[in-house]
Amino acid sequence: MKSYLFPVLVPALLSVASVTAVAGSYQSQTDVNYGWADIEGADLSAWNLKQRFYLAPVQTEGSVPLAEAAFMQRQASVHGTFSRESLEYGGFKAHNNSWSVGGEYMDSRHDFYASLDWRFVNNSKAYEAVTKLGFFVQNDWLVTGDIYHVKDFDGSTYLEYGASTKKLLDLDTGDFIALTGGMRNFNHSTWTAYNVGADYYFGKNLSVGLGYEWDSKGVFQTEADAYEVRSQWFALPNLALNAALKRVEYLDEEDETLYEVGASYRF
């Protein structure tokens, strides 16, 4: 595996960021993540590069966690992502590229919310367009209805529906808790996916979180579960490092572990 690259890259990133750090605001963010797993002899890995541009500068002053600054200020943005997945099994190797583009609209002058994310795969007509329409119930609490427009590799198209929510709790101690949840009902089946999560912010820079996902597959099918432990640390106001470990239970009731490391840079 290539996990040895992370300790090598971190000092270099810190060195660059220390020269160009912006203390008060940012308007662009670059995310790089790498994940891997070894499942029954198959070596799986994936990395992605995401670029997000905010339509107005995001301020980082105050007590709000740095990771939640754009959410609390309701800053609209556009983004693009490139991902590359690889599979190695014995002498067999395969690679696949995918992309996504989209945007997120919210404004401090009103409580309405909308976002769009269009995901597609190289050399394929298959895609998934995710639309979220929502409302800020409170300044720090968002609820959305989700619509998934899906086109399969065989050309079939259909709609799926779900809902999501996010709430940022201020503990009045300088610490915060971000609570998230969601569900998605899949087409032509009794299959519904659920997820919940909680991230505890120790002040502005450090968070530790837990996530749980489960798929309900109806009376005559089994359920699949996934548990995640994750953390993010802003080593500098404009540089964050993150890591996650996910334990996944597959349909054959065997557990596998997935790993991920990454970094975010703001400017």
Bridge partners, residue 132, by sequence: 115, 146
Residues 214-237, mean pLDDT to the nearest whole number:
82
The rounded percent of the chain whose pLDDT value lies above 70 is 86
- Residue 20 has what pLDDT? 44
Task: Please list, in sequence order, all residues whose beta carbon lies within 8 angstroms of the beta carbon of residue 25, skipping any fewer than 6 positions away.
Answer: 57, 58, 59, 60
- Residue 130 has what pLDDT? 98
Q: How confident is the model at residue 219 (pLDDT cuts 50, 70, 90)?
A: very low
Residue 219: helix, strand or coil by DSSP?
coil
Residues 26-42, mean pLDDT to the nearest whole number:
92
At 2-13, the pLDDT tens digits run 444 444 444 444
**In this model, does residue 16 exceed pLDDT 60?**
no
The rounded percent of the chain whose pLDDT value lies above 90 is 71
The span from the CA of 130 to the CA of 128, in Å, is 6
Question: Whole-model pTM?
Answer: 0.86
Residues 131-156, mean pLDDT to the nearest whole number:
94
